[in-house]
Structure formats: C-alpha cells, structure tokens
Amino acid sequence: MDLNALVAQASVILDAAAEPFLAGHRAESAVPKKGDDFATEVDLALERQITSALVEATGIGVHGEEFGGAAVDSPWVWVLDPIDGTFNYAAGSPMASILLALLHDGDPVAGLTWLPFTGERYTAVAGGPLMKNGTPQPSLAPTRLADALVGVGTFSADSRGRFPGRFRVALLENLSRVSSRLRMHGSTGIDLAYVADGILGGAVIFGGQVWDHAAGVALVRAAGGTVTTLAGEPWTPTSRSVLAGAPDAHAEILEILRSTGEPEDF
C-alpha cells in the first residue's frame, strides 16, 4: 500500500466533509447512546458520506463509530469518528474534530485529524513526520512536565467504572503539583493531535474506543512521542485508555499515575 497516496485521497474526502461539519454546528441530539452520550444527525450523515467516498476511492472498508462496518482486525481498515467531541459540537464549542485512521493488522499506520473550526489539518504515516496543513513538523523534543500543558479527560467525581471519579480527582491533584497547566478540551482527538504538535506535553485519556484513539496514536508516534495505556502497556485497538506524551513527559506522567495508586482502590 502507498500510504502517502491513501492519505492524500482521504484528505480530499475529509476536506469535502468539512463544509457540512461547519454548517451543522450546534446540531441537537438525534440518537441516544450508552449513558448520557448521543449522536447528532450530522454525525450520521458525515459517517455515511465519508464511508462511501473512502470505499469508492481506496477500496478499503471502513469501521465507523455510528454504524460499525468492516472488522477492526481486518488486514486493512479505515477507522472513522465523524465528530469527536460531540457534546462540544452540539453546545457550540469549536473543540470538535473529524478523526480517521488506517489500521494494518491492528496497527495505526496512518492518521488524519481535521479541526474544521480552527483550520488545522493533521496527517501522518508510520515513520513520520507529522504534517500540519501540508507542512512537515519537527520531531518532539524532550519535555519536562513542569514546563508543559497537560490535557486531561472530562469526568464526574462520583462516577465508577475502570477509572473511578475519585481516582481521577486524586490523579489530577498529583499532576497539578508538578504542572499547574492542566487543560480539558473535551475531545480525545484534539488532545492527541496537540500532543503530536507539541502544544500539549502529554494527555491522559481515561476511556474511549479505537475510533477515538487510533488517528491520534498514529500522529503522536509519527511525531516522536510515546503512546501507551494508562497502565503503561502497549496501545492496541482494544485499549480503553491512552497516555500520550513527548519524550520524558510521558515517563513523568506514568510515574505519577503509578504513585496515585490502583484505580480499584478508590
């Protein structure tokens, strides 16, 4: 596969999707999902539009957040999140993105993250470099956590699950003792793209699925950053958490995670 050619084809398709993405800002909930999650009609329409165009242009199947599709463990598959940050999108915040990754035997070998409201277009193929609006970006430099912005996911302090709210509060408290610059963007894709771009020194993603993670994983790796789960294990398409960071910053955050304790103890 010519990964650069595939990314070029996919870029044209995402550019075409940017116009309806912008036009649908503040779209209301259309499809209730698990918990308090939802999808808008724009999510559904964009997934249909992008999926159809990708299959026609590349001949590779698509697995989307809203409709599923080709198996994620296929030899080659596109993984699509038509609107990452749906709550932001529906509320009128510009912190929302389109995420697309190409997986080869479960490995994200290409990633595309479009931020239509800010005009930022990130792409990468395995081996790098990170491309921003078509321009190669420098590899990430070693970063001290004390000097960095850190992206963290949103949550309720009373939530349970794999990473209970009280664990998250304790972790943020410990992180804040080293970096007083924690940021909540409400979009996993934006957090990971901003780590790749050196805007954030690291990002702590408490949940999500492969369509939330894969594009950003490809971007961070291409930029020279490190990506694992919050437990420090290699990221895979079945992972339900992500820790991404620039050199050195990732190790510092992982040490703070481990010193905070086991999530199940909260």
Instruction: Enumerate residues 6+ apart whose C-beta is below 8 A from 188.
Output: 84, 85, 153, 205, 208, 212, 213, 216, 242
Contact 186, 154 (CB under 8 A): yes
Residue 73 in marked binding region: no
Residue 212 in marked binding region: yes
Residue 84 in marked binding region: yes
Amino acid sitting at position 229: T
Give how far the C-alpha of residue 60 lies from the chain's centroid of Cα atoms, to the nearest Å. Answer: 21
* Best CA proximity match to 237, nearest among 221, 218, 214: 214
Please give the C-alpha separations between residue 59 and each of 62, 78, 103, 135, in angstroms, as whole numbers: 10, 10, 14, 27
Binding-site residues from annotation: 65, 81, 83-84, 212
Positions at the binding site for Mg(2+): 65, 81, 83-84, 212
